[in-house]
Structure 1
Amino acid sequence: MADRILIVEDEPRMRDILRDYFHAHGVEADLAADGAAGLDRFRERDYDAVLLDVMMPGLDGYGVCRAIRRKSRVPILFLTALGGETHALEGYGLGADDYVTKPFSLAVLLARTTALIRRSRGTSDGTLICGEIRLDTGRMVCTVCNTAVKLSPREYDLLLCLLRNRGRVLSREQLLTRVWGWDFEGELRAVDVQIKNLRAALGPAGGQIKTVVKAGYKLEEA
C-alpha cells in the first residue's frame, strides 16, 4: 500500500510540483490550497504525513497544526519561507515533527518525509512495534512478549494494517478495502470474525485491539 500524504500549500505551482514529485516516487499526495480546506481534507481520510505551508491566508499553518494535534499524532512537516530559530521553535512547540525552509531540495524533502513516516510506524529497519506486539515485516514474523506468534495470511495483513495506523480508528469499511481489497464481495462481518481470530492469536496482547462502538477498531499500546 502506497504512503499517502496531505500537502497544504497556497501557491498553485508549488502544490503541483510537490504532488508530481511525490507521485513519481511512489507516494500518493492530496492537495489543499488553504488551511481550512486542508483541515476538511484531513477529516475525510487517514494520512501518513502532512506537509504544511506556514504563511497562508486565513487559517495559517500554525493554526492547522494546532487543530490536527487535538485529534492526531500524524507526522507534520512545516514548509516555510520564515527562517530563524524563533519560528522553528514555535513550530516544534505546536507539535510539528520537522521544519524545512524554502527554497528546499525536493530530494531532501522526500527523504525527510519518508523518514518521519517510518519513525511514526516503528523502527527504521522495517519492524513495527506497538506495546507488546512486534512485527518484522522483512521476515514476516510476529512476536508477542518476545514469543513467536503464528498468524494466518489474513491475520497478518490485518495486523499490518492496524500497526501502520496505530492509534487511529479504522472503520470496518476501511479495513475491508485495505485488507480484503476493493473487489471483495463478502460482508462487513468478515472483519469482525478476523478481528476475533487475531485477538485470540495475539494472546495477552489481543486486548490492544480496541473496539470503538459504531466506529470500528484501533490498535493501542495497552
Structure 2
Amino acid sequence: MTAHAFPKLVLFDLDGTLLDSAPDMLATVNRMRAARGRAPMPLHELRPHVSKGSRAMSAAAFPELGGEVPAELIREFLDTYEGELGRHSLLFDGVAELLDAIEAAGSRWGIVTNKPEYLAVQVMPALGWDTRSAILVGGDTLPERKPHPLPLLHSAEQLGVAIGDCAYVGDDQRDIASARAAGMRSVVALWGYRRDDDDPRDWGGDALADRVHDLLDPGLWASLR
C-alpha cells in the first residue's frame, strides 16, 4: 500500500457496488413476465439476486423452473436487459465522491465484473467512466470469471501494479473469494445485494464497509496494510 489513504489501485465490482442497477434488472424481468401474462415482480424480491447474475435473476423471476434455467431464457434476459441498460440505474450515494478522491490522491481505479463485457462497456460512457476507469474486465473477457482469481490477477498485471498495492471492493461472496485466491486485500460492500441467508462476516473479507462513504476513511485502508 502507498502512504496516502488509498492503495495504488482500487478495483470494484460493478452491480451492487458502484451502480444500483437493480431497477434496470427489474424492468427486464418484468418485461419477460408481462410477455407471459404474469404480474410484475416487486423490487424487494429481485434485489437480493442481482449480484448473482442473469441465471439467478431469471430463476427468481420464474420460480416454477426450480432453478433449472434454460439457455434460451438467459439469452432472452440479456437481450431484454440491453434495452433497459442504464435507463433506471443510479450510482450508489457517495460513489462519485469516492472515485474523485481516489484520482485526486494519485491512485487509479478499475472495474472487474461478471457482467458480460459487451454490456459492461455500454454502461461506461453515460457515466463518464470510459475515459476514467483504468481497466474494465467483464465476465467473459478472460477464460475464467470470479470467483476465480484470474480477472484480478490480470487487472493488476495489465496495469503494472503489485498485488500488495491493490484492493478489491465487492458486494458478493464471489468477489471476496476471488480476491482471497488472488492474494489481494478485499472490502465487503455491505450496501449491495445479498440474500437474507448470506452472512458477509463469513466471507473472509479484510474489511466491511456499511456505506460507500466509509471508503473515504483513511483508517479503513490503513487496516488493510
Pick the TM interval, shorter chain. Answer: 0.3 to 0.5
Structure with bigger RCO (C-alpha 8 Å, 6+ apart)? 2
Please, what TM-score do these two structures have when normalized by structure 1? 0.37
Please, what TM-score do these two structures have when normalized by structure 2? 0.37
Q: Which has the larger radius of gyration?
A: 1
The structure carrying a bigger strand percent of its residues is 1
